Each structure stands twice: as C-alpha cells, then as structure tokens.
Amino acid sequence: MKFGGTSVASADDIKRAARRIVAARESGKRVVAVLSARGKTTDELVNMAYEISDAPHEREMDMLLSVGERISCALCAMAIHDMGYNAVSLTGSQAGIVTDSVHTKARILEVRADRIRSALDEDKIVLVAGFQGVSGDSRDVTTLGRGGSDTTAVALAAALDASVCEIYTDVEGVFSADPRICPSARKLDVVSFEEMLEMSASGAGVLQHRSVEYARNHGVRIHCRSSFDDTPGTLVVAEDESMEQPMVTAVTHTTNEARVTITGVADEPGIAGRIFGALADANVNVDMIIQNEPVAGDRKADMSFTVSRDELRTATQVIEGLAIGDSVTADENIGKVSIVGAGMKSHPGVAAKVFQTLGDLGINIEMISTSPIKISCVIASDRVPDAVRALHEAFDLGADAVKTEDPTGVHRPTVRS
Ligand code: ASP
Ligand code: MG
C-alpha cells in the first residue's frame, strides 16, 4: 500500500491511513506500506536548500529531501501502535532499496528485502519511507526523483511478490482526461501498462512514469485508488486477450514543455547526432523532434524539438555553444494534447479525426508525433483546454464505453512475456 503526500498531510490523514493499513492487516493480509512526505514537505525542503545555496550540493540535497518520508513513516507507526498493532518504520536504506549513485534521480538496482521479510514474519506492519534508497557504491542516501515513492512501492511489491500494489491518492483513479478541465472525464476501470506508460509520458500525473515502467517489467499489478473512500479505482495491468480494446482510452495534455528551433542547419550526415549528443551529455530529455529534408537550393534545414520548460535554458545554451545553424529561438507558449489507446493500432482514421477535430476549432497544429498507440499534437498553450474537451467528446470518452467484469481485481490477466 502506498500513500501519497495528500493522504498523509494532516494528523487526521495519517490516522486515516493507519486505519486503512490496520484494516488490511485485520483482513488477514501481510502489509507493507510506503509513505510519501506530508503535503508540500518536499517542496518546502527544496526551497530551504535554495535559501542557503544557489547550487545545493547533491549528496546533501538527498540527505535533506529523504527526511520528509521518514517523518510520515514514524508518525504513522506511532498511530498504528496506538491502535494496538505492532509496526516498524524503515528508511529506504534500512528497507534494502539499493540504487546507483546519481543523486536526486537515482535508479533502483536491487531490493534486498530480507529485513522487511523478517519483520513481516514477526507479525509486524512494515512502513517504508518512499522516494529514497542507498547507493550500493558510496553508501550515501539517494532519492529517486520527484514522485519517486510510487517507484519504491512498485519495487517492493515486485521484490516481495505482492498480490497487488495499491497506490492511495487524492483522486479516484486514472481518468479519461483531466477532470479539472474536462468535466465529462470518467474514471477508467482498467488500463494496460502500455497505455499507462504513454499516458504518464504525455501528461497524466497520477503515477510516476518510472513506476509504471518498473511495474510492466516485473509484472506488478497496480491498483490506483482514493484514500478517502472505498470505491475501487483503476487497475493497471498487463494487456490480455480478454481485455476490451477501445480505440481511444484517454486524452492527456501538458503545458510544461517548450520548443527550441534551429534555423539554417546544414543538410549533412552527423549534424543531428551532434545536436542531440550534446543535449544528452547535458542530461536534457528531448521529447518531439521535427526536421524536414530541405528542398530549397541552399540545402539548409530547420530543426525543432521540445523539452521540459525547466530544461529550456540548459538546452538553448547547449545549442548556442555548438554554433550550428543560423539562429536558435525558444517558444515557451506551447502545449501538447495527446490521445492514447491500445485499439488505435488496428483502426484507420484515428489521426485524421484528431486533426479534423482540432481544425474545426481553428486550432493550428504545430508539431505532430505518433507511436502505435498514441498521437500527440503541439498547439498553442492557451488552446489546450478546448482541445482536450473537443477530443474527449469526438472520441466519445465520456460514455461508459469500457466495462470490466471485476474492477476490484479478482480477475487476474495473465502476464505476457
Ligand atoms: N515526496 C517526493 C515528492 O514530492 C516523492 C513522492 O511524493 O513520491 O516528489
Ligand atoms: Mg505522487
């Protein structure tokens, strides 16, 4: 069971989480719970660091950030003790989460869960601080990147061979669009790993992208649900023949990307390799890339790509440093809308419908990218809400299109290798 920041924010929230954990224990289950930092704690810790230093030392940043999750776990263990149950809180390191040494965005290399197992054997409820681990090399505390408690939970579920990884959050599950801008959005009962990966990569914020990757690689079933009531949420599971495949499952969006355009790039082998090699060396993640083969006599091309807005400065500096092309410009007023659905693989005309829908609204499409189960369009950021609503409507996503036999999870789709 994993509880997000809003589910452990106040003392009452912690007690509510404790009651849920104890209820699961009482129903005969052995429970490991991963907790996030309370409310805005991690943001506050980040701010504290920047009050002291413009470039906080990364090892010390992780020492600082890992504290938030430890507070939640200790407090929740106290609440569980008061309810007459035995609980033990563990740091990521104590729980055996071994990572690489990349501070503030470490990756889990191994989970040595023996300490958790023996605590469970002693009939204890185990609380693990999310979002953190210990470097196998330096033995320093590391953190897993923002939202990383989801990955802690999935990694523990995999290591312990748990029947399910329940992610408790402040929404009812995964939705067909962001309900804050699309009132007809509907909670989805089941989503496949592949769809969820595309959704979290294109703006759905419910689950950390890496946690979904980890779940897919290890076949961990995720049940994403509300910590405030008992209604079943969304199951994220391996695709299975019995699963209905709607053509489109969800509309996602982001407004936190920016575009860099380089004009007058020479049409020669090796140029793109230099540009994106330099960006990779600077740890900049590139999303969409567009380049046309030039047709004009001078054989010069324009190239555009998108990056997350907080990496825009680094990206433009890197490109300017390369002195490739005539000019480098940045556009921060872009947004991206995407439609995701496993069924579009076998349905022609989906892209046409997306483009027509946007065209009918007078929305100009500035960039397009596709995968077998996703179509993304870059548009002006102020048109994103209209685009999301129109696409949701055009593909009929508000209707009760997808029904599953048993959203609570008794039905276990087989894991395909
Ligand atoms: N507390 C960390 C964050 O705010 C990790 C998490 O909540 O998953 O990003
Ligand atoms: Mg989160």
pLDDT tens digits for range 285-325: 999 999 888 887 788 999 999 999 989 999 999 999 999 99
- Summarised one tens digit per residue, pLDDT across range 374-411 is 999 999 999 999 999 999 999 999 965 444 444 443 33
From 44, 70, 131, 154, the mutation candidate for ligand 1 (largest count of ligand atoms within 8 A of CB) is: 131
Indicate whether 413 pLDDT > 70: no
- pLDDT at residue number 399: 65
For residue 146, report the distance from its CA to the centre of ligand 2, in Å.
8
pTM of this prediction?
0.89
Token digits for 181?
């801008």
Average pLDDT taken over every residue of the chain? 93
For residue 242, report the distance from its CA to the centre of ligand 2, in Å.
30
Q: Is 148 in the pocket of ligand 1 (CB under 6 A)?
A: yes
Choice among 3-12, 23-32, 298-307 with the minimum mean pLDDT:
298-307
Give the atom of ligand 1 at the shortest distance from the alpha carbon of 149: 8
* Fold (topology level) of 245-417: VC0802-like (3.30.2130)
DSSP string across 45-62: HHHHHHHH-SS--HHHHH
At 415 the three-state DSSP class reads: coil
Give the atom of ligand 1 at the shortest distance from the alpha carbon of 69: 1
- Report the Cα 70 to chain-centroid distance in Å: 22
Q: Is 146 in the pocket of ligand 1 (CB under 6 A)?
A: yes
Choice among 46-55, 68-77, 102-111, 394-403 with the minimum mean pLDDT:
394-403
- pLDDT at residue number 299: 83
Cβ of 6: how many Cβ atoms within 10 Å? Answer: 18
Which residues are CB-contacts of 279 (< 8 A; sequence separation ≥ 6)? 286, 307, 315, 318, 319
Which numbered ligand comes closest to the C-alpha of 131? 1
- pLDDT at residue number 400: 55
Q: Is 92 in the pocket of ligand 1 (CB under 6 A)?
A: no
111 φ, ψ (degrees, to nearest 5): -120, 115
Residue whose CA is closest, atom 5 of ligand 1?
147
- pLDDT at residue number 409: 37
Give the atom of ligand 1 at the shortest distance from the alpha carbon of 36: 7
Q: Is 149 in the pocket of ligand 1 (CB under 6 A)?
A: yes
Indicate whether 242 pLDDT > 80: no
**In this structure, are strands 286-291 and 300-308 parallel, antiparallel, or unpaired?**
antiparallel
For residue 305, which amino acid is it? F
Residue whose CA is closest, atom 1 of ligand 1?
37
- Summarised one tens digit per residue, pLDDT across range 176-188 is 999 999 999 999 9
Which has more pLDDT, 414 or 332?
Answer: 332
Indicate whether 416 pLDDT > 60: no
Length of the chain: 417
For residue 255, report the distance from its CA to the centre of ligand 1, in Å.
21
Q: Which residues crowd ion ligand 2, with CB under 5 Å? A: 4, 147
Q: Are 212 and 193 in contact (CB under 8 A)?
A: yes
- Any idea where the domains of the chain sit in the sequence? 2-244, 245-417
For residue 147, report the distance from its CA to the centre of ligand 1, in Å.
4
For residue 345, report the distance from its CA to the centre of ligand 2, in Å.
30
Q: What is the mean pLDDT of residues 49-53?
A: 98
From 6, 7, 36, 150, the mutation candidate for ligand 1 (largest count of ligand atoms within 8 A of CB) is: 36
- pLDDT at residue number 296: 76
Q: How large a percentage of the chain has pLDDT more than 70?
A: 94
Find out if CATH 3.40.1160.10 is the number for domain 2-244.
Answer: yes
- pLDDT at residue number 376: 96
- pLDDT at residue number 241: 62
- pLDDT at residue number 404: 43
